[in-house]
């Protein structure tokens, strides 16, 4: 994700998430009436998935999410879920931008990685030469 559009990307992904065709998040499929929230209803996997993501991103309990989302439609819920995801990921995005703007740190990190990779490759190559009976030049 490009730093400049990560919020738009998240919003677009959530907006396009598959949902079921039932009107609302808390629906009894046998009576088609609103009921208590069922996170683990196997007949509504899309609903369960999005509600669980929201619960995890918002740091709330299932009961708190059930209370908040009672009677909510998908459009409203997806906006709330998008906001929760953006809030949760914001510190990571800030840190990413800090790291990407520090070219000296990135150069140092790349050099350290190259040194470690060369050491591992050298040891592996020595093992291959030894296993095949070749002499190292």
By the 10 Å C-beta count (0-12 exposed, 13-18 middle, 19+ buried), 5 is classed as exposed
- Kindly report the number of other CB atoms within 10 A of residue 6's CB atom: 17
CB 26 within 8 A of CB 66: yes
Q: pLDDT tens digits, the chain, 137 residues: what are they? A: 555 688 999 999 999 998 877 766 655 556 555 455 667 778 788 888 898 999 999 999 888 888 888 778 889 999 999 999 999 999 999 999 999 999 999 999 999 999 999 999 999 999 999 999 887 76
Q: Tell me the domain boundaries of the chain.
A: 3-101, 105-137
The Cβ of residue 4 has, within 10 Å, a number of other Cβ atoms equal to 8
Domain 3-101 is found in CATH 1.10.240.10: yes
Q: What's this model's pTM, rounded to 2 decimal places? A: 0.70
Please give the backbone phi and psi of residue 27, each rounded to the nearest 5 degrees, phi first: -135, 130
């Amino acid at each position: 994700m490009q730093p400049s559009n990560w919020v738009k990307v998240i919003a677009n992904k959530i907006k396009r998430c598959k949902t079921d065709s039932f009107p609302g998040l808390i629906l009894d499929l046998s009576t088609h009436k609103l009921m208590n929230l069922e996170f683990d209803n196997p007949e509504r996997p899309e609903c369960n998935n999005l509600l669980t993501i929201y619960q995890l991103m918002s740091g709330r309990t299932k009961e708190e999410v059930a209370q908040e989302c009672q009677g909510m439609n998908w459009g409203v819920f997806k906006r709330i879920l998008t906001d929760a995801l953006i809030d949760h990921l914001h510190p990571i995005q800030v840190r990413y931008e800090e790291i990407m703007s520090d070219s000296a740190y990135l150069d140092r990190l790349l050099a350290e990685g190259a040194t470690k990779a060369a050491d591992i490759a050298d040891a592996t190559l020595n093992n291959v030469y030894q296993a095949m009976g070749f002499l190292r030049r």
